[in-house]
Structure 1
Amino acid sequence: MQRRDLMGAGAAWLGLSSVGVYAQDRRAGGFPSRPITLICPWPAGGSSDAVMRAFGDSLSRQLGVPVVVENRPGAGGTLGATAMLTAKPDGYTLTQLPLGVYRLPHMQKMPFDPLRDLQHVIGLTGYTFGIVCTPESPFRSLQEMVTWARAHPGQMTYGHTGTGTTPHLAFEEFAHKAGFRTQDVPYKGSADILQAILGGHVPVMCGTMEFAPQVRAGKLRLLATLGRERNKAFPDVPTVKESGWDTVSESPFGIGAPRGTDAAVVRTLHDAFRRTLDDPKVLETLERFYQPVLYMSTEAYTRYAQQTFEAERATVARMGLAGKS
């Protein structure tokens, strides 16, 4: 009994000792030692919000500290990138980096440079976009919509997720190639635009697949998707490209931190986020919004940012939007 008691006491002491060393390491500045803020640059309640909260919850489990998702909607999804300018480069303030971060600097003066001011941590997933209309709309296919829009110059009103966002530019590029003019109505994100079209405020929207449940319920009509191939959830719905207009829009995104964040901290964050892509709850959320896993390492994501920044410069120039707000 005495020997067992002695062994038990020794094990307890070792356990307490290791906990004490771990706590001391965290107090000494080991990362992470306090809550992390993860900025979602879109409104609460939308698909982006749900996905970022799933990532945040999983990240919290991976790192053992709270992860607080903070919504900062507006400015085409770039307010998170702007926040990196004043955030300390310590890994405790992170943001989602949507495609607009690399596009809007070519369209208007922005406070940040996406290559100079951001540390790219990891690429995670991407959006699937589509064009939907209300059941009351006078067209039942994309071709019928184009015919109607050509017959009613300038009367095609549609909503999108913000000036300079991918749904905005994708629809404008499609409209240019199809030969009709539009009246666009910007919203702050997917949740807002979905409420608008369901409320009858706009007849057409271009946005993420958050509208899928309403399409299945007959409350909205899906005219086309914007990927390279048909979406597996709606195999009978054509893409814009196969309908005759060469417009393809796919939008990967990942996580960014302030420039100057320590390499060891970036590696810790990358590895933790990488593990979230194996989390069943994260994968379930991605599947619910038809978002594929598009993993990119820190190095690959940094190269993607450089290439995308230049590609977006060319797209903006081609569409005559350079220097516009």
Structure 2
Amino acid sequence: MTQTFRHPRRQFLKLVPASLLLAGAAVALQAPAARAQTFPAKPVTLIVPYPAGGATDVQMRSLALAASKRLGQPIVIVNQPGVGGTLGPAAMARTAAPDGYTISVINAALFRLPHIQRVSYNALTDFTFIMGLNSYVYGVSVAADSRWKRVEDLIAYARANPGKLSIASVGNGTSGHIATERLAKMAGIKVNFVPFKGGADALVALIGGHVDAMIEAGWGAMAESGKVRLLAVALNERLKRWPQVPTLRELGYDIAIQSEVGLAGPKGMPPAVVQALHDAFKASLSDPGYQQALQAESMPNIYLSTAEYRQYAQTQFASDKRFVEELGIRLAD
């Protein structure tokens, strides 16, 4: 007698209702999406491209602590200063996997430096822009015991002593450097520009008398404690917290700086991962510790969405190109 062999799986499929088979297929299709939604499954590294202890470092540690609670994973701060705050982001763009586990704080120098010297990154295509966080407030400051009480006093000294007035800022090609060069050009003076790795280092040099003045952000806490004297701010309006301090525009120098601080990762990050990071950090912007750190430096909490921050990057890149060409700044490669 001939017997027909029936494959066990086929027999099983005949016994299982079609609706259950379809449901099982749907679950299988959803599995990859479910795995993607588990981000983050391990700690996230946040590169802060300035030395520990500076204003940006303090702010980012507060913000990261708040965001880590929403992500459900620790956010580990790694300080990687250098090249005006672009060394860390550039290294991340070259070496980090686009999985969201390594991101970086970025500043406006990232978009300016390519116009000044050869760099290892493309400012518009090598990064995944996540969001904008706040904006640095640049000011002209001197040590509290300095002989100079006004910006006009600095200018008068520089005119009488060409090249002797030393002005500090964070790195070559940064907003502070550009502001220094623009002020010197408008005032018709020659100054000695002194770059530092971070604002904390520049402040130490200023207070210690190693430089005469500083055009940089991060002066707030030192001005509040009476260790530095703020002479002017590079804004459109006076600060509410420092109403007695004029803007550079009021003094006849058309210099107002918008230097956005934001978050970015390497290019190619999945949209779902970008969204998860964006949402966690956005929800943390109101954290009291972070807000206090911003207020100490009179920094505005300027949020930009992912799309808005991407547009800011393009606009900043184009405007910096014009400024650099106007001033004729070029650094050695």
Instruction: Please give the TM-score of this superposition, normalised by the length of structure 1.
Output: 0.88
Local SS of the residue matching 1:42: coil
Select between 277-286 and 153-162 the one with higher mean Cα deviation.
277-286
- Matching residue of 2:59: 51
Deviations 1:270-324 (CA, angstroms, capped at 9, x unpaired): 1111101122222222112211111111111111111111111111111101465
CA distance in 2, matches of 1:72, 1:78: 9
Indicate which of 91, 95, 100 corresponds to 2:109: 100
Indicate which of 229, 236, 239 corresponds to 2:247: 239
CA distance in 1, matches of 2:172, 2:330: 13
The structure that has the greater radius of gyration is 2
Deviation of 1:172 after TM superposition, in Å, equals: 1.4
* Correspondence 1:310 to 2:330: no
Indicate which of 285, 291, 297 corresponds to 2:299: 291
Deviation of 1:137 after TM superposition, in Å, equals: 3.3
- Matching residue of 2:198: 189
Select between 227-236 and 66-75 the one with higher mean Cα deviation.
227-236
| Percentage of matched positions with identical amino acids | 39
Write the mapping of 1:181-260 to structure 2, written as runs, cut at 5 A. Answer: 181-208=190-217, 210-260=218-268
Aligned residue identity for 2:44: I
CA distance in 1, matches of 2:99, 2:47: 15
CA distance in 2, matches of 1:323, 1:75: 12
Aligned residue identity for 1:145: L
- Matching residue of 2:158: 149
- Matching residue of 1:119: 128
Deviations 1:52-71 (CA, angstroms, capped at 9, x unpaired): 11121111011010100100
- Matching residue of 2:13: none
- Matching residue of 2:49: 41
Deviation of 1:244 after TM superposition, in Å, equals: 0.8
CA distance in 1, matches of 2:148, 2:104: 40
- Matching residue of 1:3: none
Local SS of the residue matching 1:84: helix
Deviation of 1:78 after TM superposition, in Å, equals: 0.4
CA distance in 2, matches of 1:301, 1:241: 27
Gaps of 5+ in 2: 1-30
Indicate if the aligned counterparts of 2:130 and 2:263 stay in contact, CA closer than 8 A. Answer: yes
Deviation of 1:213 after TM superposition, in Å, equals: 3.7
Deviation of 1:148 after TM superposition, in Å, equals: 1.4
Computed over aligned residues only, the root mean square deviation of the Cα atoms, in angstroms, reads 1.8
Deviation of 1:47 after TM superposition, in Å, equals: 0.1
CA distance in 2, matches of 1:89, 1:159: 36
Deviation of 1:178 after TM superposition, in Å, equals: 0.8
CA pair 196-103 structure 1, distance change in 2 beyond 3 A: same
CA distance in 2, matches of 1:216, 1:65: 35
- Matching residue of 2:72: 64
Indicate if the aligned counterparts of 2:115 and 2:324 stay in contact, CA closer than 8 A. Answer: yes
* Correspondence 1:174 to 2:183: yes
Indicate if the aligned counterparts of 1:125 and 1:293 stay in contact, CA closer than 8 A. Answer: yes
Indicate if the aligned counterparts of 1:39 and 1:72 stay in contact, CA closer than 8 A. Answer: yes
Indicate if the aligned counterparts of 1:84 and 1:94 stay in contact, CA closer than 8 A. Answer: no
Aligned residue identity for 2:57: D
CA distance in 1, matches of 2:165, 2:172: 17
CA distance in 1, matches of 2:34, 2:305: 30
Indicate if the aligned counterparts of 1:27 and 1:33 stay in contact, CA closer than 8 A. Answer: no
Deviation of 1:134 after TM superposition, in Å, equals: 2.3
- Matching residue of 2:288: 280
CA pair 224-259 structure 1, distance change in 2 beyond 3 A: same
- Matching residue of 2:6: none
Aligned residue identity for 2:124: L
Gaps of 5+ in 1: 1-23
Q: How many residues align?
A: 301
CA pair 279-212 structure 1, distance change in 2 beyond 3 A: closer
Indicate if the aligned counterparts of 2:219 and 2:297 stay in contact, CA closer than 8 A. Answer: no
Deviations 1:67-90 (CA, angstroms, capped at 9, x unpaired): 001000001100222122210000
Indicate if the aligned counterparts of 1:129 and 1:167 stay in contact, CA closer than 8 A. Answer: yes
Write the mapping of 1:121-140 to structure 2, written as runs, cut at 5 A. Answer: 121-140=130-149
Instruction: Please give the TM-score of this superposition, normalised by the length of structure 2.
Output: 0.86
Deviation of 1:136 after TM superposition, in Å, equals: 4.2
